[in-house]
């Protein structure tokens, strides 16, 4: 079988990819609006017109409704829902996690998904919540893995997902991912993370997702189960998540909430509609609030901003500026910033995946000091072999004659060869006054360079000499 998932462009651990399904090829990252087969707040054809390329629905709900079940088997899922593009189906695992029990056997619900021609089928995994005992996480993971092994052994007419569980234990997540990868699933959802996202535990989310990604390797398509709020698309995409599902657009609308990429707002507390989607263009705040169609209109706005953010993420991956987007998105909530700082600690991992970048490096905040380019340079700086008289200076200026080597100094990189000043990433746009994080990193690099070149004699012409640089 040709590769079902092809990666076209990369930035950080994120990528633009192409996933082949029986109902067409989907470009990722992709947001799948969740469709409830019982009550379609926005009917599927409407979702398609709004720009949804793919949707997700729940096979368990269809299976448990005698009328829907018969129609799904007779007509197929796509006719039933009214959507021609790819449809992913979930298994009822979520109902299992909420109600503790469901009335169907694991292989039965998987066979049903095959029978109704779902494009991506999900076996009945066990969504272990965060913070449970290690024993529980391990025993539930064993059961999930056993079911997944059975599922993987079947002849499959469509794509098969292998959910990665393991609660908040990164080692279990990584191990689970490694185990499932051997069984060649087509898509790997990271499951059991909805409670983390609901409670804004983005640092733990990064822990869990990066662990799973390390176990999977970079080639596998990853779905982040239940990630529907646009404020986390940049962060999740930067970790290498490719598929997202949004029930949020409808759930929040029912609660009367207005989604933005910076968080969730209540219309009662707003004065303006800071958005140009068709809903916000066609209504002012008062009209929106008083409309009998209020929930539907909110759902439409919520979905428009979500789809828009996904496109922006793609554009940023394409031009190599995802980190910049990440920094601005993660400035909108302290917990998101915690998530970004945690991801910054994965500099080495990101550095190994990150394609060389095209767009200018912008130093936007202390988080920019953790960017892969900075980590990469810190690892390579000792490779410079210098002898004789070396000048380290802020900028070109005059009086560089008589030196064997001239290095410019720019935090967070520290010293770099003058010849590279127009070259990425040293052509970075940085603030006039470097912050502490940038200065510290620059000082560390300077120290490494000096120690690696004992035969060279260093002179400095710097506005401020970083502390601990150890000049002689």
Stretch that binds ligand GUN, among 186-194, 300-308, 342-350, 426-434 (CB under 6 A): 186-194
Which residues sit opposite 190 in a β-bridge? Answer: 164, 224
Q: Which of 277, 289, 420, 430 binds Zn ion (CB under 5 A)?
A: 277
CB under 5 to 8 A by kind: which of ligand GUN, Zn ion, none does 301 bind?
A: Zn ion
What are the two backbone dihedrals, phi and then psi, of residue 429, each rounded to the nearest 5 degrees?
-90, 115
Pattern of binders to Zn ion over 280-309, x per CB under 5 A? x--------------------x--------
Pattern of binders to ligand GUN over 151-170, x per CB under 6 A? ------------x-------
CB under 5 to 8 A by kind: which of ligand GUN, Zn ion, none does 194 bind?
A: ligand GUN
CB under 5 to 8 A by kind: which of Zn ion, ligand GUN, none does 83 bind?
A: none
Q: Which of 275, 353, 420, 465 binds Zn ion (CB under 5 A)?
A: 275
125 binds ligand GUN (CB under 6 A): yes
Strand ranges, E, within 99-237:
120-121, 159-160, 188-190, 222-224
**279, 281, 282, 283: CA torsion to nearest 10:** 80
Could you give the residue ranges of the DSSP H alpha helices within 41-130? 44-50, 59-64, 66-75, 77-81, 93-99, 106-115
* Binding residues among 194-213 for ligand GUN as defined by CB under 6 A: 194
Write out the two tokens for 441: 């990193």
Write out the two tokens for 37: 């087969």
* Binding residues among 222-241 for ligand GUN as defined by CB under 6 A: 225-226
Which residues sit opposite 33 in a β-bridge? Answer: 246
70 Cβ contact list (under 8 Å, min separation 6) = none
Is residue 90 part of the annotated active site? The answer reads yes
Omega into 29 within 30° of 0, i.e. cis?
yes
Q: Are 19 and 221 in contact (CB under 8 A)?
A: yes
CB under 5 to 8 A by kind: which of Zn ion, ligand GUN, none does 247 bind?
A: none
SS3 115: helix
SS3 472: coil
253 binds Zn ion (CB under 5 A): no
Q: Which of 33, 85, 130, 192 binds ligand GUN (CB under 6 A)?
A: 192
465 Cβ contact list (under 8 Å, min separation 6) = 471
Which residues sit opposite 222 in a β-bridge? Answer: 188
* Binding residues among 200-219 for Zn ion as defined by CB under 5 A: none
Q: How far apart are CA 122 and CA 91, in angstroms?
A: 6
Q: Which is nearer to Zn ion, 253 or 340 (CB)?
A: 253
Min separation Cβ 125 and ligand GUN, Å:
5
CB under 5 to 8 A by kind: which of Zn ion, ligand GUN, none does 174 bind?
A: none
Active site residues: 90
Q: Which residue ranges make up the site for ligand GUN (CB under 6 A)?
A: 90-91, 93-94, 122, 125, 127, 163, 191-192, 194, 225-226
Which spans of this chain sit near Zn ion (rule: CB under 5 A)? Answer: 275, 277, 279-280, 301
């Amino acid at each position: 079988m040709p590769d079902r998932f092809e990666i076209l462009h990369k930035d950080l651990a994120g990528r633009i990819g192409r996933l082949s399904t029986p109902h067409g090829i989907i470009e990722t990252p992709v947001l799948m609006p969740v469709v409830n087969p019982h009550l379609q707040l926005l009917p599927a054809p409407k979702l398609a017109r709004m720009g949804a390329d793919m949707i997700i629905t729940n096979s368990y709900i269809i299976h448990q409704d005698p009328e829907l079940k018969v129609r799904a088997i007779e007509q197929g899922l796509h006719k039933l829902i009214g959507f021609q593009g790819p449809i992913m189906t979930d298994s009822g695992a979520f109902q299992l996690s909420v109600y503790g029990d469901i009335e169907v056997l694991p292989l039965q619900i998987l066979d049903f998904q095959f029978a109704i021609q779902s494009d991506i089928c999900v076996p009945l995994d066990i969504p272990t919540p965060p913070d449970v005992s290690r024993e529980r996480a391990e025993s539930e993971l064993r059961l999930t893995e056993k079911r997944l092994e059975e599922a993987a052994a079947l002849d499959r007419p469509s794509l098969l997902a292998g959910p990665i569980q393991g609660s908040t234990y990164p080692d279990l997540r990584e191990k689970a991912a490694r185990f499932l990868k051997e069984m060649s699933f087509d898509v790997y959802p990271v499951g059991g993370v909805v409670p983390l996202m609901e409670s804004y535990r983005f640092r733990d989310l990064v822990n869990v997702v990066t662990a799973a990604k390390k176990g999977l390797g970079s080639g596998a398509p990853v779905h982040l189960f239940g990630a529907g709020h646009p404020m986390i698309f940049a962060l999740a995409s930067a970790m290498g998540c490719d598929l997202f599902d949004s029930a949020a657009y409808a759930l929040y609308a029912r609660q009367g909430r207005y989604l933005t990429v910076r968080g969730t707002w209540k219309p009662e507390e707003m004065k303006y509609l800071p958005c140009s989607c068709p809903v916000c263009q066609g209504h002012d705040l008062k009209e929106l609030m008083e409309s009998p169609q209020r929930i539907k209109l909110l759902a439409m706005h919520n979905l428009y901003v979500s789809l828009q953010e996904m496109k922006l993420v793609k554009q940023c991956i394409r031009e190599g500026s995802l980190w910049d987007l990440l920094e601005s998105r993660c400035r909108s909530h302290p917990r998101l910033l915690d998530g970004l700082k945690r991801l910054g600690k994965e500099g080495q991992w990101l550095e190994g995946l990150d394609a060389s970048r095209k767009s200018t490096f912008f130093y936007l905040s202390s988080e920019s000091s953790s960017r892969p380019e900075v980590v990469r340079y810190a690892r390579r700086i000792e490779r410079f072999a210098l002898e004789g008289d070396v000048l380290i200076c802020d900028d070109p200026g005059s009086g560089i004659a008589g030196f064997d080597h001239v290095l410019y100094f720019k935090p967070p990189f520290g010293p770099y060869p003058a010849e590279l000043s127009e070259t990425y990433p040293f052509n970075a746009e940085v603030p006039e006054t470097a912050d502490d994080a940038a200065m510290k990193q620059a000082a560390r690099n300077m120290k490494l360079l000096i120690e690696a070149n004992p035969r060279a004699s260093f002179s400095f012409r710097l506005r401020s000499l970083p502390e601990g640089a150890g000049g002689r």
